Amino acid sequence: MGFLPIIALVLLALSGLLLDAHRRTWRAAEADAELDERGRRAAKAQYLRRMRASGTIGVLGALLILQPLVPQEPLWFTLYLLLLVLLCGWMLLLALVDGFAAALRVRRARHETESLEAKLEREIQAARDRSDD
C-alpha cells in the first residue's frame, strides 16, 4: 500500500472532522441569544465558507482514492491533474477570503472597543469635572 491512499484517507477523515466542527460552531452561534443580526450573518457566512473548504478537502481525498481508476492516457491524466490543481486553487481562494473576512471582523471589533473606551473616558472625565465643582 503506497502513501497516496493513506493521504486520501487522512484527507477524508480531516474533512469529516472539520465539517462536524463547523456545524457545531454554527449551531452554537445560531443559539446565542446575545448575537445581533450582523454577527449572526457573519457567523453564517463564515460557516458556509468553511463548509465549502472542508468539503473540498473531502473531494480531494476522494479524487486521490480514485487515481488508480484514471486511464493512464495523457489526456485523461492531464484532466485529472488539472482538476486536482483547480480544487487546490479553490481551497486557497476560500482560505484567502476567510482570512480577509476575519481581519475585517477583528478590525471592526477593535474599532468598537476603542469607541467604547473613548466614551467611557469622556464619562469619567465628566464625572470628575462634576465632582470638582
Q: What Rg value do the Cα atoms of the chain yield, rounded?
A: 24
CA angle 2, 64, 73 (to 5 degrees): 95
Q: What is the chain's percent helix, strand, coil content, to nearest 5?
A: 90, 0, 10
* pLDDT digit string, tens, across residues 28-78: 998 888 888 888 898 999 999 999 999 999 999 999 999 989 999 999 999
pTM: 0.79
Higher pLDDT, 2 or 118: 118
pLDDT computed for residue 1 by the predictor: 59
* pLDDT digit string, tens, across residues 10-42: 999 999 999 999 999 999 998 888 888 888 898
